[in-house]
Structure 1
């Protein structure tokens, strides 16, 4: 399944009773995915204030390897795989009406296991695979014109990659070129419509969790050439380097990462034997996983 965050205004009574305060809470959306027997269309939302998952209306198509990202108060579910075909269709969730719509134009081609992120009011769909080969393509969605357009491709084919936005750049991290997991990292400048190389990961990773928190990019788990990983590392743009951090308690391939309310979350995954249903939270101040 894919996870995404959305900041939502919440009004909560304080202990004084009558006074109300409003703040932003980060909600986590889990969209689609797969079980041992099937690809699914289920959608859930996690609210960290009450520590509960809420089941939302399902997407219209079963989708695993789907790209999910927020844009202008909507949640977009892009592409994926329905068990037979790589999809080009796109669905959009409106939290106000709590409904999914399919009025978004499709991608130029069906793809799965891509990266999806919002930057500068656009959605960027990065890499993935079309069922036959790994892709280096970059597509940008403009919600004002409801259209996708091709931008400069990456220098490397990548599927199962991590994507992150930091300092107005779009980072494409690791993944696989169809032969083996990758160390390499590159970043995209929307102003120049060009990619440039960045310092490589310390460990080859594909299908790992990726998130930004407090000005750094985090890469969690995934898989290297041989096995599932519990290791983690982070990129500091000031030092311009990746450095190892405390490993997670469990190995997690296909883990999803999210930064919510000051914590870095590692959600689900596969440890090589069974599907992991637990969530680990990394406390930056204590430098440990809970």
Structure 2
């Protein structure tokens, strides 16, 4: 403006419209000092001014700040603000955030002001997390009713993208079919009638294939760090494909997962504010629903490990807060009584450990204590009620995976202080009380899951990867197997 032939270069005074004085002052200081302070209060005006003056460094800093401040209650507004200032990277981030947190956004003030075109894009996106079609339908009706006079005619355009056959039959009949807005529109009625026909066909097909499906072992990957999505895969299928199922009701970063009575239990973890949780939810694969009907764990914690033995869940170790004071506590959940009790604590304080069941006992392996990776292993026999040290692993490990295959305990991957992710693996022989190395994985993995299915081991995900590889103990070889739809780090793994 001032170094070109524009008229402002010759004027003694230039009036700058729509720029706050404080923002302009901050930008001038930045030009001289290279420093700028960004806060909740000044980020809108600072980003606006930075865009006008084409100060890309400040613009990027403001966008990064807004990413970190994103919450279900403000992400729609952040997306709109980013769009108005052509911040393409922030738009992309906001779009992904909205997709991943759609259920939590429903009912917020900003949800009711989502533009029509953006709502249609959300509903039509296969990556939409929270694809409980019943909740999506309810959300659409609420959005339309918020401004009924101008939005009523948009209902067919929105309902077109709802997958009604995935609803429970009773919801389709008792809620959707009785909704006045739906029944008052011929196109919407057609959607519902088609869904009913699809359900009838699906249930008749399921009856024929039910016996075959009973025996298939399926791997589930549950959540992970800042991740609510859940995926499943039949590893023995002709064409193994990972498919999304219902996401967790709540974010559970660094929580634990185990299976009892064909229900998957997701235990504790961290919420979006990184606070420790004590809540639990369980997944019913028959209905594709997570239920929050489980008594909370007595101790809120994360970086926990969970294992199931008979009709009990064991919540073991972990941390209560970010000060990283590892715990040795063990709490046991009785599925029949819906009650928690404390049992004998471990001999060592551990977080980021693994726990597996071998010969009727719990084996707690490795983990971390005060930033130091551990190689020690201890065994809990519920019949005796105490922990006992056994042979330590050859390598200290934290955030590793463990599973039992053919009566031997395998551990793989993880990391240790000052090192990157590891690819090494080893197995424990109970009778000999000895660890021996097995072949290294093809990829170094920390925060992976390990699952034993049909005589093979599956190493699943980890930091910055969505890949899966499989280990055959007969050949002592790992082979790349498949790729998940998203990257699951420190996720729970379950086999049903």
TM-score (norm 1): 0.88
Q: Give the aligned partner of residue 285 of structure 1.
A: 474
Q: 2:245 matched to 1:56?
A: yes
- Is residue 2:219 matched to residue 1:28? yes
List per-residue Cα deviations over 1:14-44 (Å, max 9, x = no partner): xxxxxx757622211111113xxxx121111
Q: Which residue of 1 aligns with 2:231?
A: 44
- Equivalence map 1:50-129=2 (5 Å): 50-84=239-273, 85-129=275-319
Q: 1:135 to 1:52 in 2, by over 3 A?
A: same
Structure 1 contact 267–280 (Cα < 8 Å) conserved: yes
Tell me: CA distance 1:62–1:23, structure 2 relative to 1, closer, same or farther (3 Å).
Answer: closer
* Deviating 4+ runs (over 6 angstroms): 10-13
Change (3 A) 1:201 1:12: farther
More strand by share: 1
Q: Name stretches of at least 5 consecutive residues in structure 1 with no aligned partner.
A: 1-9, 14-19
TM-aligned CA deviation for residue 121 of structure 1: 1.4
SS of match in other structure, 1:87: strand
Contact 1:69 1:116 in 2 (8 A): yes
Q: 1:153 aligned to 2:345?
A: yes
Specify the SS of the correspondent of 2:373: coil
Q: 1:22 and 1:221 mapped to 2: Cα distance?
A: 32
The structure in which a higher percent of residues are helix is: 2
Q: Matches of 1:256 and 1:112 in 2, distance apart?
A: 16
Q: Which residue of 2 aligns with 1:4?
A: none
**Secondary structure class of the residue paired with 1:164:** strand
Q: Does 1:225 align with 2:417?
A: yes
Per-residue Cα deviation, 1:233-264 (whole angstroms, up to 9, x for no partner): 00011211011111111111111111112111
How many residues align structurally?
A: 267
> How many angstroms does 1:193 deviate by?
1.1
Provide the residue aligned with 1:17 in structure 2. none
Any idea what SS the aligned residue of 2:276 has? coil
C-alpha contact 1:11 1:21 (8 A) present in aligned 2: no
The answer on whether the counterparts of 2:311 and 2:336 sit within 8 Å (CA) in structure 1 is: no
Q: Which runs of 5+ in 2 are unaligned?
A: 1-205, 480-496
With over 3 angstroms needed to count, the CA separation of the structure-2 counterparts of 1:11 and 1:276, relative to structure 1, is farther
Other-structure match for 1:256 = 449
1:225 shift after superposition: 2.3
Q: Distance in 2 between matches of 1:209 and 1:12?
A: 37
Pair member with larger Rg: 2
Secondary structure in structure 2 of the residue aligned to 1:251: coil
What corresponds to 1:16 in structure 2?
Answer: none
Distance between the aligned counterparts of 2:308 and 2:285, measured in 1?
A: 18
Distance in 2 (alpha carbons) for counterparts of 1:23 and 1:11: 12
Which residue of structure 1 lines up, in the alignment, with residue 459 of structure 2? 266
Q: 3-state DSSP class of the match of 1:269?
A: coil
Give, in whole Å, the separation in 2 of the partners of 1:73 and 1:223.
32
Q: SS where residue 89 of structure 1 aligns?
A: strand
CA distance in 2, matches of 1:29, 1:249: 22
Q: Indicate if the aligned counterparts of 1:136 and 1:153 stay in contact, CA closer than 8 A.
A: yes
SS of alignment partner, residue 42 of structure 1? strand
Give the deviation of 1:88 after TM superposition: 0.3
* CA offsets 1:138-195 (integer angstroms, 9 cap, x no match): 0100011101111000010000101110001000000001230001000001011100
Tell which has more relative contact order, 1 or 2 (C-alpha 8 A, sep 6+): 1
Q: Give the TM-score, by structure 2 length.
A: 0.52
C-alpha distance in 1, partners of 2:214/2:308? 22
Moved more, 255-264 or 198-207: 255-264
- The answer for the alignment partner of 1:7 in structure 2 is none
Cα distance, 1:120 vs structure 2: 2.1
Q: Does the 8 Å CA contact 1:11/1:22 hold for their aligned counterparts?
A: no
- Distance across 1 between alignment mates of 2:291 and 2:213: 29
2:217 aligned counterpart, secondary structure: strand
Counterpart pick for 1:172 among 336, 360, 364: 364
